[in-house]
Structures are given as structure tokens and as C-alpha cells.
Amino acid sequence: MRKKIIAGNWKMNKTVADTSDLINALKAKLTEPKAGVIVCPPYTSLALAVELAKGTPIKVGAQDVSVNDDGAFTGEISIGMLKAAGCEYVIVGHSERRQYYKETDELINRKAQKVFASGLIPIICVGETLAERESGITSQIITGQIKGVLAGLTPGQMETAIIAYEPVWAIGTGKTATTQQAEEVHLLIRTLIAELYSPETAEKAVIQYGGSVKPDNAKELLAQPNIDGALVGGACLNADSFAAIIDAA
């Protein structure tokens, strides 16, 4: 059985002092979590988060990475820097990166490859917009994104990677996909992985749901057969609500 993994994407929130408050509060609440726990603070808080999380079940991830190794790329962070800071995971292809920074499946795939090449694990995001869902092309969009972002990844990498299905219309909006809508797309993604790799690889693949996951809807979503965890935005900024989501898993 796949272990559930709950990841928190802090986005552009929390100073260094806030980071220490939040991680310490989480440590007090999460002594023996039943699910895997990942926190993804902003770059400025990564080293501190790693330090505070040492010896606890909490793992640390970054929210993005450059495809370049070093050099004149102002504002960018390389995979080597993330690895040296002690990160184990990196979110790639979040819809906010796709929307505001025009990231494409091809670039996201290169980032995922970069993350794997350094021995870290990517959390690879896909998801349709509201217009795409309303036009009835969700399956087409998800199929295209999955094929694009996974191109060239080996079966072993696929079995290690985390896929996050995040319908764009449900992110930060308070609108959650119904369990049926979410499960339907998760099953589609697992079927695609079975076709692209093998049924065995698909069985091992971890597919998280993201989009306004809260303590009161987490249990039902996480009970679906193809939903293996959650990528949480807003609700991960508070230790009580993030811990409640982890408990729900």
C-alpha cells in the first residue's frame, strides 16, 4: 500500500522568525505522524527549516529550481544550492509558475530531470484551468501535461517522483474539486503512467491532490483509492490546520 504524503507549500510567506515558530509548533504536534510530511518554505528559510527538522519526521523541500547550474542568472537558485542547504524535495511546475512565469511542460520536465540528477525528488504539478474544465477538455490537458512533464524519466524515477494534481481553479480559491472530480483525474493519471511505464510502476506512483485542502475536506479526499496525499497551500501556514490534515491521512 502506498504511504500518504502531505506537503505544505508556504509560497511567499513566513520570515525566518516565523519559520522557526511554525516548524517548532509542527514538531510539537507531529511526534509520530502516520503520513510523510514535507514542508516547502521560501528559499531564505530553507537552511533553518532543515536544521529545525533534523531528527524529526519532517522533510524539507524547495518551491522551484533553476535549470542552470550556476552563473549569471539573477534571482535564480540552483539544484546544487538546494542540495547543500539540505533539501530533499523540489516542487516543479506549480500552476503559479506556469501562469506568472510562463513555465512550459518542456521546462518543467527539464527541472524534474535536474532534480533527479542531483538525487533529490521532484513534486511535479499538473492541472487544468477553469476554462479548460468548462470546455470539457480536462482529460486532454492532463494527458498532454503528464506526457510532457514525464518525458524521458525512467521507471525508477517515476516510482520515486511525486505527482501533484492541482486543478488551477481550486488553488487558493476556497473551491475544492469534489472527491469524484479529483478521483477521476487521479485515476486518469495512474492509467497514463501504466500506459507510459507499466501497471507495476503506476501502482507505486504517488499522486497528491492540491487545491483548497483543509482539515474539514481532507479526510474524504484522502480516502479515495487513487489520492495518495495532498499538496497544501493556505492551510499549511498554520500548525493546527496542517497537523489536522496530516492526521486525516
Which member of 96, 103, 166, 183 is catalytic? 166
Determine whether 103 is an active site residue: no
Task: Find out whether 198 and 239 touch, Cβ atoms under 8 Å.
Answer: no
- Could you say which residues in the range 88-127 bind ligand PEP, by CB under 6 A? none
Contacts of ligand PEP in 148-167 (CB under 6 A): 166
- Binding of ligand PEP by 172 (CB under 6 A): yes
Least distance between ligand PEP and beta carbon 6 (Å): 11
Q: What region, left, alpha or beta, does residue 164 occupy, with left being phi > 0 and alpha being psi -120 to 50 degrees?
A: beta
Amino acid identity of 64? D
Q: Across the chain, where does the E strand assignment appear?
A: 5-9, 36-40, 58-62, 89-92, 121-126, 162-165, 206-210, 229-232
Alpha-carbon distance 68 to 210, whole Å? Answer: 28
Find the shortest distance in angstroms from Cβ 121 to ligand PEP: 17
Task: Tell me how far CA of residue 37 lies from CA of 110, 157, 172, 173, 244, in angstroms.
Answer: 25, 20, 21, 24, 12
Interacting residues of 178 by C-beta distance below 8 A, sequence separation 6+: none
| Least gap, CB of 45 to ligand PEP (angstroms) | 17
186 an active-site residue?
A: no
Do residues 202 and 191 touch, judged by C-beta distance below 8 A?
yes
Q: Which of 94, 103, 128, 186 is labelled catalytic?
A: 94
Compare residues 9 and 109 and give the one whose CB is closer to ligand PEP: 9
Residue with the closest Cβ to ligand PEP?
A: 233
User: What x-and-dash track marks residues 201-220 binding ligand PEP by CB under 6 A?
Assistant: ---------xxxx-------
Q: Which of 6, 65, 232, 249 binds ligand PEP (CB under 6 A)?
A: 232
Q: Which residues bind ligand PEP (CB under 6 A)?
A: 9, 166, 171-172, 210-213, 231-235
What positions carry a catalytic annotation?
Answer: 94, 166
